[in-house]
């Protein structure tokens, strides 16, 4: 009987030692992880990449040129001043998407910008240019920009009296295309007009083209989007 009790105690002691060893091992592992976490510095977010080539070319029609005023008061000037970067105004009156494409090499590629803002569509609408033709030249300019390492930005044509339906088609397609291609979009109508596509007070004299204050609003808006 005495021998039996000794064996029982030995078994109990062995179990006790095993439990102590397991606990000690667990505590050691936990302390190791804690020390590892303490010694590992917290990861920091990578800063946003800086655009090396800050030069911007704005190619477009009358709304880029600054009509009925002049280029000195047009929105590209305001944009350049706000961002403190060079913005080259390549706007001309009476232009279509095909016109912009025909001078894209000379007016954009030769300038070697980092970004190009393509702003056209009203001239196409006024001349009854089919949507398919407008699409063709917008896509061609985007592809030409990207193949030359220039970031394209699309500015939606402004609602215009007499061709509202056509402009609506152009705007809807261009917005969809930009989403598909992950292209940044500027919608100047959002700061110039109300929900009925009527210019806000003081931003147009004829209901068609912006005033100097209107162009100022456009430049300020573009600077917020492109900051």
The tokens of 146 are what?
């990207």
Could you state, in order of their start, the residue ranges of all structural domains in the chain? 1-46, 56-226
**Among 225, 221, 219, which residue's Cα sits nearest to residue 80?**
219
Predicted TM-score of the model (pTM): 0.79
Contact call for residues 80 and 117 (beta carbons, < 8 A):
no
The pLDDT tens digits of the residues spanning 176-200 come to 999 999 999 999 999 999 999 999 9
Distance CA 118, CA 60 (A): 6
Q: In what order do the strands lie in the sheet with 184-186?
A: 87-91, 56-60, 115-119, 151-155, 184-186
For residue 119, give the H/E element and its range: strand 115-119
pLDDT tens string for the chain (227 positions)?
Answer: 444 444 445 445 454 445 444 444 544 534 444 444 444 444 444 444 567 899 999 999 999 999 999 999 999 999 999 999 999 999 999 999 999 999 999 999 999 999 999 999 999 999 999 999 999 999 999 999 999 999 999 999 999 999 999 999 999 999 999 999 999 999 999 999 999 999 999 999 999 999 999 999 999 999 999 98
Distance CA 57, CA 91 (A): 10
Distance CA 107, CA 155 (A): 17
Contact call for residues 159 and 191 (beta carbons, < 8 A):
no
Per the rule left: phi > 0, alpha: psi between -120 and 50, beta: everything else, 101 is alpha
Burial of 7 (0-12, 13-18, 19+ CB in 10 A): exposed
Tell me: domain 56-226, CATH 3.40.50.1110, correct?
Answer: yes
- Give the SS3 label for residue 204: strand
């Amino acid at each position: 009987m005495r021998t039996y009790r000794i064996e029982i105690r030995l078994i109990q002691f062995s179990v006790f030692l095993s439990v102590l060893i397991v606990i000690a091992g667990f505590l050691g592992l936990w302390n190791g992880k804690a020390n590892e976490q303490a010694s590992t510095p917290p990861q920091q977010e990578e800063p946003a990449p800086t655009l090396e080539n800050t030069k911007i070319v704005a190619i477009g029609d009358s709304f880029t040129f600054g009509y009925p005023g002049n280029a000195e008061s047009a929105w590209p000037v305001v944009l350049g001043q706000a961002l403190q970067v060079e913005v080259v105004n390549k706007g001309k009156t009476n232009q279509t998407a095909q016109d912009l494409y025909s001078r894209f090499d000379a007016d954009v590629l030769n300038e070697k910008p980092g970004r190009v803002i393509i702003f056209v569509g009203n001239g196409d609408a006024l001349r009854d240019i089919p949507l398919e033709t407008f699409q063709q030249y917008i896509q061609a300019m985007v592809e030409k920009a990207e193949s030359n390492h220039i970031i394209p930005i699309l500015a939606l044509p402004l609602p215009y009296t007499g061709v509202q339906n056509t402009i609506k088609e152009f705007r809807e397609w261009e917005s969809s295309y930009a989403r598909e291609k992950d292209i940044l979009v500027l919608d100047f109508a959002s700061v110039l007009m109300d929900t009925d596509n009527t210019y806000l007070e003081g931003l147009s004299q004829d209901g068609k083209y912006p005033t100097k204050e209107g162009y100022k609003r456009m430049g300020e808006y573009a600077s917020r989007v492109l900051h």
